[in-house]
């Protein structure tokens, strides 16, 4: 088992600095042989304020190098109170970052840009805003997403309209400098009060003549809420959905995902922000908050289902296989499967007991009182992830969360799942590519071990394999974070 860091909850293979606040992934771009991942970052503390753009890059999605903080608020400038979310594009020998310029004295966040001509090490902001004013009839305006399509540049901006609808607004340009507003690309239901007040961080991906629009739902009462995906197609600058929107992720702790089309292939990658599921005071004591999910591959099936799976490159993180068990379990005694480290990758084929719930338990305390349950409910057709007993600290959030799993309703049919756990984050993928992401905070000394269990009167069959994961290589360096202070940007 690998040695633990000073903070046992600090993830080992998920991207984040070793301390302070992060939120939305930004500026996903492939440039000069590297994947670049930027993110909202406060270099001075574990709270959402003083927002910069932090920066990592990688040649292979495994080995990540921290680069100097890319964007820093300019005192007295148009982004004086934060360089908020956006994205980036690669154009010839330069990268252009589009972002939301935040000031506390205006309700909208104008769109502006910064450029780098040295592979992201230094950035120059444009002297004036790119799009200074929102269109008439808007009550929220932020988070540009720019992409190249059919020999033209296009931009979506997250918005809310004064008639109560959320919207993604569309712009087009020939040169990245002069942008024409074309109106709403897509909106929520027309009747006020039937949907979110605003859409943040719109993302768009095409799959032939079909496409998906991902939006993060925001309300003024509660702020960030959840993320939904709309499937359909575009015609004449308007997106027409083919079905009702569905959750992108069925877990409680993911928001503001960002897309990147992988170079030289028809593959879309996605990162999301997994926020904390513990009291702010605990996060402040720990000195850090937020983590990015692992990169995922996003695709669209023939029937219009949006599917996700861990990026194929992540298989390279697997070390020794520490567990390989097949068998069955009956009530009341669980089947002990073996030990795992605090960062592991698991695959399982489970045939659920039709008379109850059955699945796996990750036990993190020697006496069995602290655990995370991953189970199948054949009657409801659900995957259930229950963290009600996952931390001995009452400051950690509990709750039980479900994802649709039709295969569980078919007697004798194996349900395949993959789960990647990294100290305080679990990403659970079903074979039909539904995914559920949540945070949990075990306190006990362990060792961590897995069990197979059932609550029914019959039996549940299982085949389980697990590998401990080792972080890729990361260069350590101290980077200037702005305003005369240093902040070390590394991945643990």
Evaluate whether 460 touches 329 at the Cβ level (below 8 Å). Answer: yes
Evaluate whether 254 touches 273 at the Cβ level (below 8 Å). Answer: yes
Cα separation, 372 vs 388, in Å, equals 8
Evaluate whether 464 touches 450 at the Cβ level (below 8 Å). Answer: yes
Region of residue 476 (phi > 0: left; psi between -120 and 50: alpha; otherwise: beta): beta
Query: Of 470, 471, 469, nearest to 345 (Cα)?
Result: 469
Query: Of 88, 101, 85, 70, nearest to 25 (Cα)?
Result: 85
Evaluate whether 106 touches 122 at the Cβ level (below 8 Å). Answer: no
Residues in contact with 6: Cβ distance below 8 Å, sequence separation at least 6, in sequence order = none
Query: Of 8, 38, 39, 37, nearest to 23 (Cα)?
Result: 39
Residues designated catalytic: 24
Query: Of 477, 430, 423, nearest to 291 (Cα)?
Result: 423
The SS3 call for residue 428 is strand
Q: Greatest CA span in the chain, whole angstroms?
A: 70
Which residue in this structure is represented by tokens 């929520």? 188
Query: Of 474, 472, 473, 490, nearest to 68 (Cα)?
Result: 490
Cα separation, 103 vs 113, in Å, equals 16
């Amino acid at each position: 088992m690998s040695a633990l860091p000073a903070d046992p909850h600090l993830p080992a293979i998920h991207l984040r600095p070793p301390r302070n606040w992060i939120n939305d992934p930004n500026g996903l771009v492939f440039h000069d042989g590297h994947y670049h991942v930027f993110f909202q970052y406060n270099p001075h503390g574990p709270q959402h304020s003083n927002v910069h753009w932090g920066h990592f890059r990688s040649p292979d999605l495994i080995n990540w190098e921290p680069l100097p903080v890319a964007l820093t608020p300019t005192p007295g400038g148009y982004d004086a109170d934060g360089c908020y979310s956006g994205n980036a594009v690669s154009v010839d020998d330069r990268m252009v970052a589009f972002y939301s310029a935040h000031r506390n004295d205006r309700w909208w966040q104008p769109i502006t840009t910064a450029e780098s001509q040295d592979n992201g090490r230094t950035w120059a902001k444009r002297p004036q805003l790119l799009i200074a004013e929102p269109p008439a009839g808007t009550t929220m305006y932020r988070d540009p997403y720019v992409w190249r399509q059919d020999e033209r540049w296009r931009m979506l901006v997250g918005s809310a309209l004064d008639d109560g609808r959320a919207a993604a607004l569309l712009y087009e340009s020939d040169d990245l400098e002069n942008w024409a507003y074309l109106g709403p690309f897509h909106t929520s239901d027309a009747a006020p009060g039937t949907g979110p007040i605003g859409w943040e961080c719109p993302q768009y991906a095409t799959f032939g003549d079909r496409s998906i629009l991902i939006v993060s739902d925001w309300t003024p009462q509660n702020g960030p809420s959840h993320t939904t995906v709309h499937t359909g197609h575009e015609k004449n600058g308007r997106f027409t959905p083919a079905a009702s929107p569905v959750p992108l992720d069925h877990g409680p702790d993911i928001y503001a995902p960002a897309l990147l089309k992988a170079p030289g292939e028809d593959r879309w990658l996605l990162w999301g922000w997994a926020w904390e599921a513990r009291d702010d005071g605990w996060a402040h004591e720990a000195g850090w908050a937020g983590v990015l999910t692992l990169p995922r591959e996003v695709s669209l099936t023939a029937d219009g289902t949006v599917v996700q799976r861990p990026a194929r490159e992540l298989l390279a993180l697997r070390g020794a296989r520490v567990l390989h068990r097949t068998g069955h379990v009956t009530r009341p005694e669980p089947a002990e499967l073996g030990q795992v480290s605090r960062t592991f990758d698991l695959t399982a084929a489970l045939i659920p007991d039709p008379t109850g719930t059955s699945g796996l338990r990750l036990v993190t305390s020697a006496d069995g009182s602290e655990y995370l349950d991953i189970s199948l409910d054949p009657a409801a057709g659900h995957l259930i992830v229950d963290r009600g007993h996952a931390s001995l600290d009452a400051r950690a959030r509990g709750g039980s969360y479900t994802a649709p799993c039709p295969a569980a309703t078919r007697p004798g049919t194996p349900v395949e799942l993959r789960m990647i756990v990294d100290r305080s984050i679990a990403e659970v993928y079903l074979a039909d590519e539904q995914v559920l992401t949540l945070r949990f905070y075990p306190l006990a000394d362990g060792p961590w071990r897995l069990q197979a269990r059932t609550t029914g009167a019959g039996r549940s069959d299982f085949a389980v394999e697990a590998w401990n994961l080792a972080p890729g290589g990361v260069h350590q360096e101290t980077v200037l974070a702005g305003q005369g202070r240093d902040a070390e940007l590394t991945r643990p």
